[in-house]
Amino acid sequence: MTPVRTEIRGYVLVITIDRPEARNAIDLATSVAIAGALETLDADPQLRVGVLTGAGGNFCAGMDLKAFARGESPLVAGRGFAGLVGAPPRTPLIAAVEGYALGGGFEIALACDLIVAAEDATFGLPEVTRGLTAAAGGLFRLPRRIPYHRAMELVLTGRRWPAVQAFDAGLVTSLSRPGEALDDAVALAEAIAANAPMAVMASKRVLAESAGWDLAEAFDRQQPIVNPVRLSEDAQEGARAFADKRTPSWTGR
């Protein structure tokens, strides 16, 4: 049985971690499978947004500690833990979180561009309580998403963080009724997919990369990314559709 399932819903690729018996904990085979799904997401021009979720009522409980104890490493060369955290896809990726997103599971969500979570979902980085560190991006991604001292408290205590509090802190994009996070994430993905693909991907790239840019150089650094969009066929189509008062027909060119 494959540890990861994929399903195409229009322009959206739904990627499901399917190890419910282990609360979708990540071992090497799962990391490799996620990496393969993300490569498909980026390679197929008909796929405009990805949604990552977990089976059986949980998102992901983090690294598979039993596999780790056996000496297995869940890292994929060039992509890191879960085949994701070291090299997120160019295509927008939404985490649909039910149940637990703990340790590496929380770090997977942090590597996504948006997070839709059930109201009763739980986040946390409990690595310090297991003699480990949140080395899959949590230690630097979390304080970029929420206030520094709140991030420090969560990391140093290892306490669990209710989704409602994560939403109030601005980390979670939207809250869903329990059991509806995936459907709401797909609806959000469809709203994104309705826009021009080149413009969406370029916008994501500038947002993701510009955090460390000095303002004096930011405009110059974004030009190689945004200029191809301005000169694209889709830019012309968008203008024509606006003038004609119709829905644009995007080609991704």
93-97 sheet: strands from edge to edge: 4-9, 12-17, 49-54, 93-97, 114-118, 174-176
Q: List the catalytic residue out of 39, 98, 107, 190.
A: 107
Residue 186, amino acid: V
User: Which pair of structure tokens corresponds to residue 175?
Assistant: 């809250």
> How far from the centroid of its chain's Cα atoms is residue 249's Cα?
27
User: Which pair of structure tokens corresponds to residue 205?
Assistant: 């790239």
Q: Is 7 a catalytic residue?
A: no
Residue 226, amino acid: V
Report the distance separating Cα 61 and Cα 21, nearest Å.
11
Report the distance separating Cα 155 and Cα 225, nearest Å.
35
Residue 224, CA distances (Å) to 21, 43, 199, 203, 237 in order: 46, 21, 13, 12, 21
Q: List the catalytic residue out of 127, 180, 190, 237.
A: 127
Q: Is 233 a catalytic residue?
A: no
Residues annotated catalytic, as ranges: 107, 127
